Amino acid sequence: MPRALVIEDDEVTARDIVAELRAHGLSADWVADGREGLARALADGYDIVTLDRMLPGMDGIDVVSALRQRGVDTPVLMISALSDVDERVRGLRAGGDDYLTKPFSPDELAARAEVLLRRRRQGPNETRLRVADLELDLVRHNAQRRDQELTLLPTEFRLLEFLMRNAGQVVTRQMIFEHVWGFHFDPGTNVIDVHIGRLRRKIDGAGHSPLIRTVRGSGYVLAPAD
């Protein structure tokens, strides 16, 4: 069972995070102080850390910086009420792997945690992704399905890579924006719909069973048909 450390000073928020992680099969411990959180993260071998940005004892930015300086590569999901782009970038540059702003959906918290855990299991050196008969070569930068070469634009390639790295996992529109386009986006834009539509036409064409599915109200998932 994967182990999560929740570093959060607000008890209500912490209990919600712990409950959501446990509901998705993780063991979760909670600490309310930055210094204690750093000590636990250094000593106890957790698989993922959720880290509040503003903490007593030691700021979240300082906690994640200290972890990285000591060579700890545990995935860190930073959580904060500070939602502007500069704060997100600061958290990521300090060593955070992802950044979730308050208030957040419990489902999105769980999805982001699962994405980080999946990425950790895959390891950094993976160069070829495969889902059913779809294959993506990250070195040669090409894609094929049933040995048929697919011509993808750069953004389509990044989008497909993100979906394949998280195959079987629902990813939200927000997550897609952040991982494929970056943090500068207009929530009202239809750019994701356009690119998903183009990608579907290329990989789910005639003769192929559909791999990309829309999960109404949540996002998208790439997975073989049941």
5 bridge partner residues: 29, 49
Beta strands in 107-182 (DSSP E): 128-131, 134-137, 142-145, 148-150, 171-172
Q: How confident is the prediction along the chain (226 residues), in pLDDT tens digits per residue? A: 899 999 999 999 999 999 999 999 999 999 999 999 999 999 988 999 999 999 999 999 999 999 999 989 899 999 988 877 778 888 888 999 899 988 888 888 998 998 898 877 765 556 889 999 999 998 888 999 988 899 999 889 999 999 998 898 888 888 888 888 876 556 667 888 889 999 999 998 777 889 999 988 888 999 987 6
Which of these, 120, 121, 81, lies nearest to 99 by C-alpha position?
81
Query: Tokens 């545990």, residue?
Result: 74
Nearest-5° angle of CA 199, CA 204, CA 210? 120
Which of these, 59, 106, 101, lies nearest to 78 by C-alpha position?
101
